[in-house]
Amino acid sequence: MDAPLWTDTYAPTLEELPQPEVRDRLGRTVGEPMNLVLQGPPGVGKTAAARALAREVHDDVEADLIELNVADFFNRTKKEIRADPRFEQFLTGRSRMAKSDMINRVLKESASYAPVSGEFKTILLDNAESIREDFQQALRRVMEQHHQTTQFVFTTRQPSKLIAPIQSRCFPVPIRAPTTDETISVLESICGAEAVDFDDAGLEFVASAAGGNLRQAVLTAQTTTTQTGELTMQSAYETLGDIGDDETLLSALTDARQGELKTARKTLDTLLSDEGYDGQSLLNELLRVARSRSEFASDDIARLHALAGEADVDLTEGLDDRLHLTHLLAAWAEGRTKLRSIA
């Protein structure tokens, strides 16, 4: 898709967020350097809400909103971090620094800079559940030192992963999945602005299929209209069939059953990192595909569901989604009925 993404083109203002309770809660924070935790499932608009708030409170949002995805740090090498134009000004001449020191320096320096427009700036940390505890301890001290001039906003699907000292310094903002009607309203507004032909059945089909994932609904609508020139029930159905990941999910299951765990793990990596799944949604998709295919016997599917119950708990409490899902497939392939605990 070469055109700009609709999720960017039609990024909502604070008043356009589909969940009224989120609009109200964030509206009460405007003008104050209040630390926030925006928490909710993937795709419900956590990052969009944080950006909308920043546009509301900063006259120069490009200068006073510093946006960092945790993957910018923890999934990259020292060389990649140092070469990032956002960070190189902080790291020039410090080639011998350990990665942990590099990260701490970037956070400290970003927080210490004076705001360009107004009394405070905002540092947005996306996917905060992946921040290691030792870095959270260092971050807590940065928050304490610069609380008058820097607002920290965390987005996360697992707020329990944040240490208590950080949680206690933040105002929680739960962001639920938008209802089907709320998603339809967003899609209708975008289609109107794009002058796209659509019908109510097409909007409802896309909104329902997304299951509360607003980002997925908007991108599906854009893909459908790009390919077919309209958003109808038929065009959306055909597009969803084309862009689904069922065959990829099936390959992970099949490879695991055949003992090809390295290949299955690589497929899980791709789905988690490139396709935007989180661990629990990917688990649900694996179960759905397994149920829908004739390749697997009913007792195989029953055993997979039994193992999935324990995997679901591990995904809630653990840090590495890939590890737990790979362990699930390995246990299923070996015919075991119970997952061993993971140290």
Q: Which of 212, 227, 243 is the last residue of a domain?
A: 243
3-state SS class at 173: strand
- The mean predicted confidence, pLDDT, of the chain is 86
Contacts with 33 (C-beta within 8 Å, 6 or more apart), sequence order: 119, 120, 147, 148, 149, 150, 151
* Residue 323 sits in the same domain as residue 192: no
Phi, psi angle pair for 2, to nearest 5°: -80, -25
Residue 10 lies in a domain: no
- Domain carrying residue 229: 180-243
Residue 264 lies in a domain: yes
In this prediction, residue 334 has a pLDDT band, given cuts at 50, 70 and 90, of confident
In this prediction, residue 320 has a pLDDT band, given cuts at 50, 70 and 90, of confident
How many distinct structural domains can be found in the chain? 3
Closest CA to 131 of 170, 76, 74: 74
Query: Does the model's pTM come out above 0.85?
Result: no
Q: Which of 174, 193, 223 is the last residue of a domain?
A: 174
Q: Which of 243, 258, 289 is the last residue of a domain?
A: 243
* Residue 84 sits in the same domain as residue 105: yes
Residue 163 lies in a domain: yes
The more confidently predicted of residues 148 and 78 is: 148
* Number of residues that make up the chain: 343
Confidence at residue 11, expressed as pLDDT on a 0 to 100 scale: 95
pLDDT tens digit sequence for 273-287: 766 677 888 888 888
* Residue 170 sits in the same domain as residue 23: yes
* Residue 40 sits in the same domain as residue 114: yes
pLDDT tens digit sequence for 85-109: 878 777 877 667 877 788 888 888 8
Confidence at residue 123, expressed as pLDDT on a 0 to 100 scale: 94
Closest CA to 214 of 177, 185, 243, 242: 177
Confidence at residue 269, expressed as pLDDT on a 0 to 100 scale: 85
Rg (the chain; Cα; Å): 22
3-state SS class at 136: helix
Confidence at residue 42, expressed as pLDDT on a 0 to 100 scale: 85
pLDDT tens digit sequence for 22-57: 999 999 999 788 999 999 988 899 999 999 999 999
* Residue 202 sits in the same domain as residue 271: no
Distances (CA, A) of 192 to 148, 188, 231, 286: 43, 6, 11, 36
- Find the CATH number of the domain harbouring 292: 1.20.272.10
HEC states along 207-241?
A: HHHHCCCHHHHHHHHHHHHHHHCEECHHHHHHHHH
Confidence at residue 323, expressed as pLDDT on a 0 to 100 scale: 84
* Residue 154 sits in the same domain as residue 213: no
CB of 325 within 8 A of CB of 270? Answer: no
Confidence at residue 58, expressed as pLDDT on a 0 to 100 scale: 94
* Residue 45 sits in the same domain as residue 139: yes
The DSSP bridge pattern shows strands 36-39 and 65-69 to be: unpaired
Confidence at residue 317, expressed as pLDDT on a 0 to 100 scale: 64
Residue 6 lies in a domain: no
* Residue 54 sits in the same domain as residue 124: yes
3-state SS class at 293: coil
The more confidently predicted of residues 216 and 13 is: 13
Share of the chain above pLDDT 70, in %: 92
Residue 116 lies in a domain: yes
Confidence at residue 50, expressed as pLDDT on a 0 to 100 scale: 96
| Share in percent of the chain as helix, strand, coil (round to 5) | 60, 10, 30
The DSSP bridge pattern shows strands 171-174 and 36-39 to be: parallel
DSSP string computed for 23-74: HHHHHTTTTS---EEEE-STTSSHHHHHHHHHHHH-SSHHHHEEEEETHHHH
